[in-house]
Structure 1
């Protein structure tokens, strides 16, 4: 047991730490089951750069993990440390402090965010811009909003009702999108609302939904299609904004959907595996990846004509589409894929032949060994 069973609430581990709650107070435990931050604060956040943001008496301060309070709670609002500095609010204005609590950038911003890639987003005169570590505006205040600070040398910004991207000099490299996402491995997802509309009658709205009713109500035009694609860091659409759905890229391929059929494209927008699948799954049940859709260790789960199978990155079936449920097909690695037949798990090779006869009540994916459960748990080598 890593964390004692004595808390009203326990969060998931993130960065090696998990939040715990007892008697209305919060703290952190580390992955070794040790107290990282005492369970005595109204709120906690982080930790980052070995400092947790903690709230006591309605004010925010910083606690050094496993040690002591290093910056007493005195700020009405504050952010996490990043690149050695943290944004804090004092008397209605934001500035930045270092890890000793010394004010490095004075309090004269309307809003401020953590540093990323040497710059930070700040709000001046109702507009957003970027400052360097000395507090100098290196990209002047000009944006209505900033979705994210710089990642891979690019930041997402908003002007008017549209979103786009800028480089480190403030030059716009792409614009005119309805939704944008941060860059990862040189590409970013973008979305547009196509101009096709349908005429309905709006009877009310709430929590982001709209009800459709009869002729006695005012008519409303509702957008029909959100189309998705990807751009590179030059602003070029490497995957055109024409797909009904697109996943993040796994192993160089993204699952995309057009007219209820699924296929895969590469980072150049080339259709590598045609649109012929009814559904796409993910062949790993316990993955750390952010989006469980597409390829993992060279395999992807797909559904055709009501049955599930597994394909490789060329689109070839390595497990025929003959499995009734997605949950009976785990996928795998090292050329072995976990398959459930007649209530028991075994392993199939990439030629579709059973390499290990179905005999286990539960299994795991091979790395250099696999965890099996047949009343008792044990491992087998790959």
Structure 2
């Protein structure tokens, strides 16, 4: 589910078994003619059209394409897989190789990679072959490559890298900025990167120092200055199996920024965050001060706001979503 172009926002929704798009007022603006539709990014949405019978796992065969916010094709379904647009480019799989389309639907970087991911800060990680990863620029040129390594996306000028079970962060030219002793390391966002060490999550700053020591059984990325983290059990560490998890929001210094705690917590987006308030599948939306902006509602899951609307899942039929506005009113019912 997601937003549209800078001119207007559109949201995909299912209508009579097929997907179309509504605007923020809940009006259908793209007729339901797609088998599946993803969210809009940079004014373009990925859509899927069934192309054959299901495979052995029951997954339908589909071809991927892209439409603009008028519902017109910019790239007709021809791709086995695709990723969302970022930095004006989208990775697509044609045959057995991955390349990149631009926003006009032109193949800007010819398919030659084993796998390709999204661009960020002008760089994208790709697999050159089964043993070698690389970072490429927007022209498709290899900036650097590494054998036996895993590379993440570039954030705040730093790239997480795992090689021979050791983690480090690289600069955009491939040189090592700093190493970190951990079992997993995420990308930087808002000057912080979540890192797992000894089973607990902490956050590094861009100098490689612990801004927030490993304390939390799990933690999300920072968004709008706050991150949702699971609070440790009494005495520290993870909770016993079956014991409810408790989540809170911390600021970039590690201080708990909102007094209340929750059974579940989503990232902040457009000033609001969805939180699970009890074990009866009730979700509310709060602002950054912890004030309830949208009262609790019963639903299977509540997603972050994207512009004027947020998608909420039907409490029993998890394939069905509705959309609410910032007043908590349904503009599109499941």
The separation in 1 between residues aligned to 2:122 and 2:285, in whole angstroms, is 41
Name the structure 1 match of 2:63. 25
The separation in 1 between residues aligned to 2:46 and 2:283, in whole angstroms, is 39
> Are 2:276 and 1:238 aligned?
no
The separation in 2 between residues aligned to 1:257 and 1:131, in whole angstroms, is 40
Map 1:299-378; keep pairs closer than 5 Å.
332=327
Q: 1:243, CA displacement in angstroms? A: 4.7
The separation in 2 between residues aligned to 1:256 and 1:104, in whole angstroms, is 43
| 2:40 alignment partner, SS class | coil
Aligned residue among 166, 184, 191 for 1:127: 166
**CA gap 1:195/1:21 in 2 versus in 1, 3 angstroms:** same
Deviations 1:90-123 (A, max 9, x none): 2311111112221111233511122112111111
**CA gap 1:364/1:96 in 2 versus in 1, 3 angstroms:** closer
Deviations 1:76-103 (A, max 9, x none): 1111122211111123111111122211
Q: 1:222, CA displacement in angstroms? A: 2.9
Aligned residue among 200, 204, 215 for 1:162: 200
| 2:85 alignment partner, SS class | strand
**CA gap 1:90/1:255 in 2 versus in 1, 3 angstroms:** closer
**CA gap 1:255/1:100 in 2 versus in 1, 3 angstroms:** closer
Q: 1:129, CA displacement in angstroms? A: 2.0
Name the structure 1 match of 2:122. 84
Map 1:54-73; keep pairs closer than 5 Å.
54-73=92-111
| 1:47 alignment partner, SS class | coil
Q: 1:51, CA displacement in angstroms? A: 1.5
**CA gap 1:229/1:6 in 2 versus in 1, 3 angstroms:** closer
Name the structure 2 match of 1:225. 244
- Unpaired runs of 5+ residues, structure 1, are 197-220, 274-278, 294-326, 339-362, 366-382
**CA gap 1:13/1:170 in 2 versus in 1, 3 angstroms:** same
Q: Which has the larger radius of gyration?
A: 1
The separation in 2 between residues aligned to 1:135 and 1:156, in whole angstroms, is 21
**CA gap 1:224/1:119 in 2 versus in 1, 3 angstroms:** same
**CA gap 1:241/1:288 in 2 versus in 1, 3 angstroms:** closer
Name the structure 2 match of 1:353. none
Name the structure 1 match of 2:23. none
Name the structure 2 match of 1:93. 132
Name the structure 2 match of 1:34. 72
| 1:66 alignment partner, SS class | coil
| 2:78 alignment partner, SS class | strand
Map 1:269-308; keep pairs closer than 5 Å.
280-281=296-297, 288=306
Map 1:204-219; keep pairs closer than 5 Å.
none
Deviations 1:259-306 (A, max 9, x none): 99999988577xx78xxxxx7249xxx96368679xxxxxxxxxxxxx
TM-score computed with the length of structure 2 as normaliser: 0.66
- Unpaired runs of 5+ residues, structure 2, are 1-27, 52-61, 299-303, 313-321
The separation in 1 between residues aligned to 2:46 and 2:277, in whole angstroms, is 38
The separation in 2 between residues aligned to 1:258 and 1:83, in whole angstroms, is 39
**CA gap 1:226/1:110 in 2 versus in 1, 3 angstroms:** same
**CA gap 1:36/1:26 in 2 versus in 1, 3 angstroms:** same
Name the structure 1 match of 2:3. none
Q: Is the CA contact (8 Å cut-off) linking 2:284 and 2:297 kept in structure 1?
A: no
Deviations 1:292-331 (A, max 9, x none): 79xxxxxxxxxxxxxxxxxxxxxxxxxxxxxxxxx9x988
| 2:91 alignment partner, SS class | strand
Q: 1:195, CA displacement in angstroms? A: 4.5
Name the structure 1 match of 2:189. 151
Q: 1:28, CA displacement in angstroms? A: 0.5
